[in-house]
Chain A
Amino acid sequence: MFQQFFQDSPLLVWPLVGLAVFLLSFIAVLLHVAFGLRDRRKRDHIASLPLDDENGGASR
């Protein structure tokens, strides 16, 4: 099946490469969300940015 698909042009492999890149990135984002955003205080701070923008309270 693959050979039949690619016989028209080897360029058609690029959509599959693109799909692989998407999957990798998606997994990376999920890893970040699962492990990188475990700090609830930090999450709450970023999520609250729109709410404290008129009083200038920025944090590090």
Chain B
Amino acid sequence: MTTSTAAADGRMRTVVYDDAICRAFSIATIVWGAVALLLGTLVAAQLSHWQANTDLSWLSFGRLRPLHTNAAIFAFVGNMMFAGIYYSTQRLLKARMASDALSWFNFWGWQVIIVAAAVTLPLGLTQGKEYAELIWPIDIAIAVVWVAFAVNFFWTIARRNEPNLYVALWFYIATIVTVAVLHITNSLALPTSWIHSYPIWGGVQDALVQWWYGHNAVAFFLTTPILGIMYYFLPKAAERPVYSYRLSVVHFWSLVFIYIWAGPHHLLYTALPDWAQTLGMIFSIMLWAPSWGGMLNGLLTLRGAWDKLRTDPVIKFFIVAVTFYGMSTFEGPLLSIKSVSALGHYTDWIIGHVHGGALGWNGFMALGMLYWMVPRLWNTKLYSVKMAETHFWIATVGILMYIVSMWVSGVSQGLFWRALDGDGYLKYPDFIEGLVASRAMYQMRLIGGLLFFLSYLLGIYNLAATILQGSRSRVEVQVPAMATEAAGKAGRLIFSPPVLFSALVIALSVLLGVTNLLASPLVLGLLCVAVAAAGLSFAINRDRWGKWHDLIEQNGLAFTVLVLVAILIGGVVQIIPTVVITEKVPEQVRAYEAEVQPAGAEDDPVMAEQARWMQQPYSPLELAGRDIYISEGCFNCHSQMVRPLRHEVLRYGDYSRLEESLLDHPFQWGSKRTGPDLARVGGKYANLWHYLHFMDPRSTSPESNMPAYDHLKTGTVDFDVVRGRMQTLVRLGVPYSDEELRRAAQDGLSQGQLIREDLAKQSVRLAPDSELAALIAYMQRLGRGPQPIEAAEMARGGQ
């Protein structure tokens, strides 16, 4: 049974909304929210008290932190988003969801994906890319479930009984289209087994694609659907329409167009080409305007009804959520300014910023929505308004404690790391000093997070009691039947003056770019004529110009295509140039080394510099160590990117070059430094230091909060698996020779033997094929070229 619409008479239809799916997603939201918050509290405890890592490898911070973020984003907010979309879409379109089967496939598929994530991430099965950690079979499952959701959604739009698409639906369309594009592009990978793969992107390409995805996961998974929910549920709760429909139109298109460009602000001062960094920064700053337009539109919806803020907990949650939206969207562009990023990036400030969005914006919107929707879905009243009020106040105090502690900690860290003494040297050369100084803030963060979690448990009790006292609702409405979308509208839209002139101007702009910006006065002249003609046409026929958006608004397909174009432009113009240009670098360097240098030709300083820094492939043991590094989630606390800032160069060594990580699949530049940067850690410490550090981090760094990795001592590297992975990397452009592939096991064991012998001199026993030996080999390689893999080479002066 797909729909209950039936003709009651010639023009009216009876529609019974599918609220069962909304109830299911609501319950899933409540349950997974508790899981996400519990995990958040646990990882916060691990950061303030290292003992909370326990001796169990699958409970260590590096494995639980991705589980926490995935649970918060995809389980908690994801289910909340589906609940809100299914509820509001049916009512705004005055139609039941087109297919009950697809709705339930969406529900159960999503829950299976979450459970699969909960199993695989603690086992160390990860792709090593933030917010995209899940292994490739789960990625495919996500794509399938998302497509089912999309089909159901657009099918419902096609069968709707309301001609106008309300602005909330626009935000849902943008979400569905963009998340699909982001997820598929960022997840492109070559599998090496059922549980492991390497992304097709490497180094700087991977960094750009990942943060294009990562930033826009925030934009189109955590923001646009929630804005749609805001535009629907806030007017419902306030019992008055949105403050300005006009503002919502500008809000939508500006946000959709601008957001997609802002990803590179996560990579400021890294080895990403400067033009892309600047582009990301500029568009991030531009985001201020639409974001605050949306926030003000939300807040002013309460005009004339501010008294509700005193009495209605739902309004309280919504208004504080929108306020947090404003705060986060002020802070985000601020942090995207290069000089501010130089201070704030890699510090706890970013963690505070993220939680302002996740707990304040998403969390409070979810809670406001649940407190409003659950009583209606179970046909009853909220069990206790007082309890909801208590929940609100405790959660608010919890968030504020969390964010303030992270601000203090983050800004302190930034200042600590960059502090120089009177002679221009680092004032605090020992990284651990900064961590020690942050400890009190880590404890305050733990208390704040704990308060939010405990208040959430109160909310669960309140909502569960509400559900138990009620009975399932059945909403049946009579609506005027609407004919299927007129095909003629598409033609009218395509041939309307704004579309024709826009296409002409865009085509001429492209032509101008492709030819030569300065040497094409003809094209420039044509462009001016086209703009003038457009202005004339507008002056003569204002009505037709004004109607184009109406045509789009009433045509779901045209609207979706336009959104797709809007979000593709930002990604395409950043990713394609970077990918195309960097794709050629290794090839050019190899050609230079093979032909130009041996011939003694005149040196090309640019090529010589590229050749000097060009990354060489990892040895089999180092590759195995790298995979362990990724599996253990080391990237959650350690970056591998020295920025060209004086204090970083003083602390870590020469700044990182683009060429150094081009063969890294995935890149490991990182985004947070709870521990120091590791880009140049190779050779900095002896093998024994690394051994002791991994076995018990406190033995070498007394105040460290890093978990112990003693389980790696007993784990063994399978070099047949490593060879298979090397073969996959060859297909991705990593230049392993056939000989290197053939000798993978032999070379791996030889290099392990060197580490074993070195440690044996200091009475430490470690198997040459142990996972710990592999991780040490990887550490010793970072920031350096190929290391000796045989004793004879070492004797010849390899090191």
A35 to B: closest C-beta gap in Å: 4
Complexed CA–CA distance, A30 and B550 (Å): 14
Residues of A within 8 Å of B, CB-based: how many? Answer: 48
Flag if A33 contacts B250 (CB, 8 Å). yes
B518 interface residue per 8 A CB criterion: yes
With beta carbons under 8 angstroms apart, the residue of B94, B240, B254 that contacts A29 is B254
Bound-complex Cα distance A37 to B242 (A): 15
> In the complex, what distance in Å separates the CA atom of A9 from the CA atom of B482?
52
Whether A60 pairs with B546 at a CB distance below 8 angstroms is no
Interface: B490 (CB within 8 A): no
- Give the shortest distance, in Å, between A48 (CB) and chain B (any CB): 5
Interface string of A25-47 (1 = CB under 8 A from B): 11011111101111000011111
- B257 adjacent to A25 (CB under 8 Å): yes
- Contact of A32 with B548 in the complex, beta carbons under 8 Å: yes
Residue on A nearest B527 in the bound complex, by CB: A20
Kindly list chain A residues whose C-beta atoms are within 8 Å of the C-beta of B166: 46, 49-50
Q: Check A13–B514 contact: CB distance below 8 A.
A: yes
CA distance A15 to B253 in the complex (A): 19
Which residue of chain A lies nearest to B90 when distances are taken between CB atoms in the complex? A53
Contact B577 A9 (CB under 8 A): yes
B178 CB to closest chain A CB, in angstroms? 16
Complex: chain A residue closest to B552, CB-CB: A32
| A residues near B231, Cβ cutoff 8 Å | 50
Known A-B contacts A47-B245, A54-B475; A17 and B573 likewise in contact (beta carbons under 8 Å): yes
Contact B249 A29 (CB under 8 A): yes
Q: Mark B163-183, 1 if CB is under 8 A from A, else 0.
A: 110111000000000000000
Give the nearest-CB partner of A30 in chain B: B250
0 or 1 for each of B540-555: is its CB under 8 Å from A? (1 = yes): 0010011111100000
Query: Is the Cβ of B518 less than 8 Å from the Cβ of A36?
Result: no
**Residue B576 contacts which of A14, A28, A38 (CB distance < 8 angstroms)?**
A14
Q: Is the CB of A51 within 8 A of B581?
A: no
- Number of residues on chain B facing chain A (CB within 8 A): 66
B163 touches A60 (CB 8 A): yes
Convert B548-577 into 0s and 1s, putting 1 for each residue whose CB lies closer than 8 angstroms to a CB of A. 111000000000000000100110111011
Interface with A: B33-41, B504-512, B664-672, B775-783, which one?
B504-512
Q: In the complex, are the beta carbons of A50 and B92 less than 8 A apart? A: yes
Tell me, in angstroms, the Cα distance from A30 to B548 when the chains sit together: 12
B308 within 8 A of A: no
B449 at the interface (CB under 8 A from A): no
Within the assembled complex, what's the spacing in Å between the Cα atoms of A50 and B166? 8
- If A8-B581, A9-B581 touch, whether A31 touches B513 (CB-CB below 8 Å) is no
B315 located at the interface, meaning its Cβ lies under 8 Å from any Cβ of chain A in the complex: no
The answer to whether B502 touches A47 (Cβ under 8 A) is no
A6-B517, A36-B547, A36-B550 known; A12+B275 contact, CB < 8 A? yes
A33 to B247 CA separation, bound complex (whole angstroms): 8
A28/B502 in contact, CB under 8 A: yes
Known: A17-B573, A50-B88, A58-B162. 18 other contacts (CB 8 A): A2-B518, A9-B577, A11-B577, A18-B569, A22-B258, A24-B506, A26-B254, A33-B250, A36-B548, A38-B546, A44-B241, A46-B164, A49-B164, A50-B166, A51-B241, A53-B94, A56-B477, A60-B163
B546 engages A46 (CB within 8 Å):
no
Distance of A40 Cα from B180 Cα, bound (Å) = 36
Give bound CA distance, A11 to B506, whole Å: 16
Instruction: Say yes or no: is B56 at the interface (Cβ < 8 Å to chain A).
Output: no
B279 at the interface (CB under 8 A from A): yes
Interface pair A3/B518, CB less than 8 Å apart: yes
In B450-487, the 8 Å CB interface with A consists of: 475, 477-480, 482
B239 within 8 A of A: yes
Chain B min CB distance to A28 (Å): 6
Contact B546 A32 (CB under 8 A): yes
- Distance of A16 Cα from B517 Cα, bound (Å): 11
Which residue of A has the minimal Cβ distance to B549? Answer: A32
List B residues 492-536 near A (Cβ within 8 Å).
Answer: 498, 502, 505-506, 509-510, 513-514, 517-518
Check if B569 sits within 8 Å of A22, measured CB to CB: yes
Whole-angstrom distance between the alpha carbons of A56 and B478 in the complex? 5
Q: Which residues of A contact B (CB under 8 A)?
A: 2-3, 5-6, 8-18, 20-22, 24-26, 28-33, 35-38, 43-51, 53-60
Rounded to whole angstroms, the CA-CA distance of A33 and B576 in the bound complex is 33
Contact residues in A for B232 (Cβ distance below 8 Å)? 50
Which of A11, A53, A59 contacts B580 (CB under 8 A)?
Answer: A11
A17-B509 in contact (CB<8A): yes
- A31 pairs with B505, CB closer than 8 A: no
B427 located at the interface, meaning its Cβ lies under 8 Å from any Cβ of chain A in the complex: no
Q: Is the CB of A21 within 8 A of B509?
A: yes
Chain B residue numbers with a CB within 8 Å of A26 are 253-254, 257
Which residues from A are CB-within-8-Å of B91?
50, 53-54
- Asked if A49 and B249 make an inter-chain contact with CB atoms under 8 angstroms apart, the answer reads no
Q: Which of B240, B249, B505, B566 has the most CB of A within 10 A?
A: B249
Report A-chain residues with C-beta under 8 Å of the C-beta of B581. Answer: 8-9, 11
Contact of B92 among A31, A38, A49 (CB under 8 A): A49
Q: Does B236 contact A (CB under 8 A)?
A: yes
Interface contact B548-A35, CB-CB below 8 Å:
no
Chain A residues near B88: list those with CB within 8 A. 50
Chain A residues near B92: list those with CB within 8 A: 49-50, 53
B735 cross-chain contacts in A, Cβ below 8 A? none
- Tell me the complex Cα distance, A24–B163, Å: 27
Instruction: For the complex formed, measure the closest distance between the CB of B125 and the CB atoms of chain A, giving whole angstroms.
Output: 37
Contact B542 A56 (CB under 8 A): no
B538 within 8 A of A: yes
Q: How far is the CA of A50 from the CA of B235 in the complex (A)?
A: 7
Q: How far is the CB of B14 from chain A (nearest CB, A)?
A: 9
**Contacting residue for B94 out of A45, A46, A48, A56, CB 8 A:** A56
Q: Does B761 contact A (CB under 8 A)?
A: no
Contact A5 B275 (CB under 8 A): yes
A60 CA / B570 CA spacing, docked (Å): 36
Q: Does B246 contact A (CB under 8 A)?
A: yes
- Cα A18 to Cα B258 with chains together (Å): 11
In the complex the two chains form, what is the Cα distance from A56 to B95 in whole Å?
10
Q: Within the complex, which residue of B502, B517, B580 is in contact with A13, where a contact is CB–CB below 8 Å?
A: B517
Nearest CB in chain B: distance from A46 CB, A: 5
**B321 interfacial contact with A, CB 8 Å:** no
Q: Give bound CA distance, A9 to B236, whole Å.
A: 52
**Residues of A with C-beta under 8 A to B163:** 58, 60
Contacts of B577 in A (CB 8 A): 9, 11-12, 14-15
Top 5 A-B pairs ranked by shortest CB distance?
A36-B546, A56-B477, A53-B91, A13-B513, A11-B577
Residues of chain A contacted by B502 (CB below 8 angstroms): 24-25, 28
A and B contact pairs by CB, cutoff 8 A, 13 listed: A2-B518, A20-B505, A20-B509, A28-B548, A29-B249, A31-B545, A35-B546, A37-B249, A47-B241, A50-B168, A50-B235, A54-B91, A58-B162
* Chain A residue at minimum C-beta to C-beta distance from B538: A31
| Chain A hits for B279, CB < 8 A | 15
User: Can you name the residue of chain A whose Cβ is closest to the Cβ of B509?
Assistant: A20
Whole-angstrom CA separation of A58 from B95 in the bound complex = 11
